[in-house]
Amino acid sequence: MPVEFLTDEQAEAYGTFTEVPTRPELERFFFLDDDDRDLIALRRTDAHRLGMAVQIGTVRYVGRFLGEDPLAVPWEIVEYLAGQLGIEDASCVKRYPERRSTVYEHAAEIQERFSYRDFNDRRWAGSSAVSCTGGRGRTPRGRWRCSTTR
């Protein structure tokens, strides 16, 4: 007999932003540390620096990359990250997904840099190197984030 763990509404909302993060959530999941800044600094334009920062924070907060629409985030997040990066015109981020492959290349770089692993990657299934406490902890709603232990 199949068992459903999530309601249809919960399943639909999983891995997306359903509300604006609180100030403590912004500070916890979207604060850019030295490792983040080192990776972001390799980008040539403000749009790419800010876009990559959005992806870094998003994967920490919702536990996955947003793929086709990496900017489907509350504007408060973009402004918070732009402030940390010294970017005056946060709207420049709208140019970030113009070259679709950039979004996926950045996601792959983030995944490698911070040792995030995909649940569907069979190489890591059942491995003791995979931890469901994640490198940065739980998501705001108490869900576990999985990544390799560091």
103 touches 96 (CB < 8 A)? yes
Specify the pLDDT at position 68. 83
Specify the pLDDT at position 113. 93
Specify the pLDDT at position 131. 37
Per the listing, tokens 């509404």 go with 9
Compute the distance between CA of residue 113 and CA of residue 108 in angstroms, rounded to an integer. 9
96 touches 48 (CB < 8 A)? yes
Nearest Cα to Cα of residue 107 among 118, 120, 98, 122:
118
Nearest Cα to Cα of residue 25 among 94, 92, 74:
74
Q: Which residues of the chain fall below pLDDT 70?
A: 1-3, 119-150
What CA–CA distances, in Å, run from 62 to 37, 72, 89, 115? 20, 12, 25, 16
Specify the pLDDT at position 3. 57
